[in-house]
Amino acid sequence: MTSPLQPPADPQQIRDLIQGPADSEWRYEMRRDCQMIIPGLLLGPFQVSKELSKLQQLGVTHIVCIRDSKEAFSVKPRFEGHFTYLVLDVEDSEEQNLIRKFPEAREFIYGAINNGGIVLVHCNGGISLSPAFVVMFVMAHFSLSWEDALHMVQNRRYCISPNSGFLTQLKEYESIYRAQAAIQQNPGASGAPRLTRRKREEEEDEADETRYEERLPNSKRTQLDPEVVGVGLGLQLPRGTHDGDVPMDM
């Protein structure tokens, strides 16, 4: 089945995608509503998720509810009989690791849209937490820089403002998804450096052992070779004689 999220190949189409609709004019009250970021993916505040008729009108089938655990008593699924939910407890602080939480949200969004569904992603205000997840999603899917992905989402929901910690993680995630994409395109390349590095480490270990033995005093090195011990004492060991069998002068 062809994904409805097929990324455009033409650079001009990608620029148009980032720029968004030219005829849209942002108004302050629009922050209380949700906006379509790409076909099948909506971003908004918790308030929208409480309006059953609105959700049905939009054709929503799946909802990603992202909330701080302290908000769990109020920010929660309201219509579990009507929609499929994914609930993520994520602290809205600069120290919160979003990258670890993102794969679950990504798979949920893909699964919904690829099966003809429409997903609403929301947090409490739709300003910082849920937008950061949506920015990561469009960044990886459309192979964008973190800045272009942020602009793409912001050009559709102007009020978003991920906190500085989340912005840092968006920058980090760009490197992560690009590295993963490179490995998928050339899976054999990932093993070669490890083998080369392992071989080099073995050679370095052998060289270290050699240098160590060379630095040992003669008395230490000769302990390892009974024939050398014998020569050092002025003794002539018969062939096959062990150091424990060396005859002693009376």
- Let me know the angle formed at the C-alpha of 42 by 37 and 45, rounded to the nearest 5 degrees: 115
Reported as a single tens digit per residue, the pLDDT across 110-157 is 999 999 999 999 999 999 999 999 999 999 999 999 999 999 999 999
pLDDT-derived band at 200, boundaries 50, 70, 90: low
C-alpha 95/C-alpha 71 separation (Å) is 18
Q: Which of 29, 32, 22, 27 lies closest to 54, judged by CA? A: 32
Question: What CATH number should be reported for the domain whose range is 14-20+30-185?
Answer: 3.90.190.10
C-alpha 88/C-alpha 67 separation (Å) is 6
pLDDT-derived band at 93, boundaries 50, 70, 90: confident
Reported as a single tens digit per residue, the pLDDT across 159-171 is 999 999 999 999 9
Q: Where are the domains of the chain?
A: 14-20+30-185
The catalytic residue positions are: 123
